[in-house]
Amino acid sequence: MQFTATNDKTDAKVAIVIETPDKSEEIKGTGPKHLFLQGLAGCTGGAVLFLLQKMRTEMPSKFMVDVSGKLTTEHPMVFENIDITYRFEGNTDVETIKKAVKMSEEKYCGLTYMLSKVTELKIGILLNDKTIER
Amino acid sequence: MQFTATNDKTDAKVAIVIETPDKSEEIKGTGPKHLFLQGLAGCTGGAVLFLLQKMRTEMPSKFMVDVSGKLTTEHPMVFENIDITYRFEGNTDVETIKKAVKMSEEKYCGLTYMLSKVTELKIGILLNDKTIER
């Protein structure tokens, strides 16, 4: 089953797929819970980059946010926890990264703030593939 | 600023745009909070259709879910409330629709369930453009 999602700000269309018992159906699009987490990743990722810019540090050469969630097995299937890993590459200052991530979580990304009230957020930071202790 | 979002189940890519001070930038993609709400709409919309099928009622000829949220004006900008309006067209039985929407909210859509704990959800139902009292 498929929905088309639109919004009132841009002309972007997003295909949403819902898993149906008919597995022969070709899956084109993104599942609702994936979209939900992608929105979360975009929110906090955007906030982190915005904050790094504001703090006038060297910007990362590459930046990714990995988000995954563990669902309960019984209905209502909610996220028991959500892992958010920020992956930076380049020469950005470590302390500034830690500060930006913390500020995003606590104040500048409303979605992580909201979800932190109803599920456990597990935050990780990698700089050039090395874990940064928070 | 733009991210590309991918997921581990399908080959769908979603363009996420983050508003930046440089307004000259062409906006192509969906904002993070829009994506988040689209995920919510897909989750509850899929659950409602699944439930209608299970209850063997006549399926709607058309089905849309409108979702919008009111954000606070100060950081962290969270949803003060979220409006979810289910719009059905066709000859689907009214009582079955009401039941399916209620079951989606309370049990079968984990995302509405989670968000109902941190914000006010305002639910509306329209059948052939007429409001259905819940």
B14 interaction partners in chain A (CB closer than 8 Å): 14, 30, 35, 38
Q: Per the domain annotation, does B3 fall within a domain? A: no
**Per-residue model confidence (pLDDT) at position A1:** 86
**Per-residue model confidence (pLDDT) at position A47:** 96
Q: Per the domain annotation, does A75 fall within a domain? A: yes
Burial-class residue A32 by CB neighbours within 10 Å (0-12, 13-18, 19+): buried
Q: Are the beta carbons of B36 and A40 separated by less than 8 Å?
A: yes
Q: Per the domain annotation, does A17 fall within a domain? A: no
Distance from the A46 Cα atom to the nearest Cα atom in chain B, whole angstroms? 6
Count of other CB atoms within 10 angstroms of residue A129 = 8
CATH at residue A113: 3.30.300.20
Give pLDDT tens digits for A73-106.
999 999 999 999 999 999 999 999 999 999 999 9
Considering only CB atoms, B30 lies closest to which of A10, A78, A107, namely A10
Q: Per the domain annotation, does B112 fall within a domain? A: yes
Alpha carbon distance B128, B134 (integer Å): 16
**Per-residue model confidence (pLDDT) at position B23:** 63
Number of domains in chain A: 1
Q: Which of A85, A123, A118, A83 is nearest to A102 (CA)?
A: A123
Q: Per the domain annotation, does A73 fall within a domain? A: yes
Give pLDDT tens digits for A14-37.
999 987 656 666 668 999 999 999
Residue span of the structural domain in which B49 resides? 32-131
Q: How far is the CA of B60 from the CAs of A84, A86, B70, B104, in angstroms?
A: 39, 43, 29, 17
Alpha carbon distance A94, B41 (integer Å): 38
Q: Are the beta carbons of A36 and B34 separated by less than 8 Å?
A: no
**Pair B32, B58: CB distance under 8 Å:** no
**Per-residue model confidence (pLDDT) at position A134:** 84
B34 interaction partners in chain A (CB closer than 8 Å): 7, 9, 39
pLDDT below 50 — which residues of chain B? none
**Per-residue model confidence (pLDDT) at position A21:** 58
**Per-residue model confidence (pLDDT) at position B134:** 84
Q: Are the beta carbons of A50 and B79 separated by less than 8 Å?
A: no
**Per-residue model confidence (pLDDT) at position A19:** 77
**Per-residue model confidence (pLDDT) at position B1:** 86
Average pLDDT over residues A47-75: 96
pTM: 0.94
**Per-residue model confidence (pLDDT) at position B28:** 81
B46 interaction partners in chain A (CB closer than 8 Å): 1, 3, 16, 18, 32
Q: Per the domain annotation, does A121 fall within a domain? A: yes
Considering only CB atoms, A39 lies closest to which of B36, B49, B76, namely B36
Considering only CB atoms, B30 lies closest to which of A7, A31, A77, namely A7
Q: Per the domain annotation, does B91 fall within a domain? A: yes
* A96-111 as b/e: b if 16+ CB within 10 A: ebbebbbbbbebbbbb
Q: Are the beta carbons of B10 and A17 separated by less than 8 Å?
A: yes
Q: Per the domain annotation, does B19 fall within a domain? A: no
Q: Are the beta carbons of A110 and B79 separated by less than 8 Å?
A: yes
**Predicted ipTM of the assembly:** 0.94
